[in-house]
Amino acid sequence: MRQAQIQVLVAADYPGMPSPPRNGSWTPRLLQTSAEGHLEEALRFAGKRLPELQVQGRVVVGKAAGVLVEASRTAELLVTGSRSLSPSTSAILGSTSAITAALAHCPVVVARGAADADVSFTRPVSVGVTTSPRSRSSLTFAAQAALRRGVPLNIVGAWAMPAAESWDFAPWHTDSLAAFARALRADTDQAVNHALGVVRGAYPEVDARAEVVEMPPWAALEAASRRAGLLVVGSRGTGGFEGLTLGSVARAILDHSRCPVAVVPK
């Protein structure tokens, strides 16, 4: 593990009240006291798990997502949980994690899957790559993570024919469909082989491997997460709202991954 300073942040959000507080209601003083208690507990836990590292913490007034995004301006890495506070939506990514992963200025690791970090750090790092040049940032992050952990790096490429109703391809000749599928596969092969060459050239100590699968990208990455200790994806999609929203593949894998996910901005 790299020798970095850890800063624990606890956000204390007091939205205000339209009427005088009643018995049992939160007040700024109670909220601050509760936040300080959570911070002390977190600092004790971090100190026991990582006694060799410098751990600091502070309570920040504001909404959690805003606090974390602001902290990302000077942080090398952000780590957040994955669960919503609502029991009815606990299976999907919480809004704080989603907003942070989409807007952070540094890589964000969303903790998912088994809580046993010791086991997680012995499994391979997997990274999804595409034909986009934006894959380079996530590839570099993944290679460095694999190098630090001393584990293999699995480079995953996926391709699939676009989902469509049968009539959408009615004008297409069978040979044209086959040629389109071959082109998709060839482009994916080229992207994966290029990524493999980049890693082997820049990080020869890393045991880099590659696989190309025929399935939707999010499904391929979900499958890879079952064997990985860390899954790395890029944060941005290729749609018209780049920079404002999390890419569809990244958002899907954050909801379904079986291991921690690192979301890397381009």
Mean pLDDT confidence for 108-116: 79
Predicted confidence (pLDDT) at residue 173 exceeds the cutoff of 90: no
Mean pLDDT of 236-244: 43
Q: Which of 51-65, 204-218, 246-260 has the highest mean pLDDT?
A: 204-218
Average pLDDT, stretch 239-254?
A: 64
Highest mean pLDDT (candidates 76-85, 104-113, 220-229): 220-229
Residue tagged 């082989």 (tokens): 193
CA 35 from chain centre, in angstroms, equals 26
Domains of the chain, by residue range, sit at 104-264
86 or 6, higher pLDDT: 6
Question: Rounded to an integer, what distance in angstroms lies between the CA atom of residue 88 and that of residue 49?
Answer: 32
Q: Would you say residue 243 has pLDDT above 70?
A: no
Confidence band of 79 (pLDDT split at 50, 70, 90): very high
Query: Which pLDDT does position 163 carry in this prediction?
Result: 67
**Amino acid 158: pLDDT:** 94
State how far the Cα of 187 lies from the Cα of 106, in Å rounded to an integer. Answer: 29
For residue 170, pLDDT over 70 is answered with no
Q: What is the pLDDT of residue 85?
A: 45
Highest mean pLDDT (candidates 15-24, 142-151, 179-188): 142-151
Give residue 60's pLDDT band: very low, low, confident or very high (50, 70, 90): very high
Q: Are the C-beta atoms of 191 and 129 separated by less than 8 Å?
A: yes
The predicted model gives 104-126 an average pLDDT of 83
For the chain, the C-alpha Rg in angstroms (whole number) is 21
Does domain 104-264 correspond to CATH entry 3.30.56.10? no
Residue range 94-99: average pLDDT? 84
- Mean of the per-residue pLDDT values for the chain? 83
Residue 220: pLDDT over 80: yes
Q: Spell out the residues 6+ positions from residue 92 whose beta carbon is closer than 8 angstroms to its own.
A: 84, 255
- Residue 67 above 90 pLDDT? yes
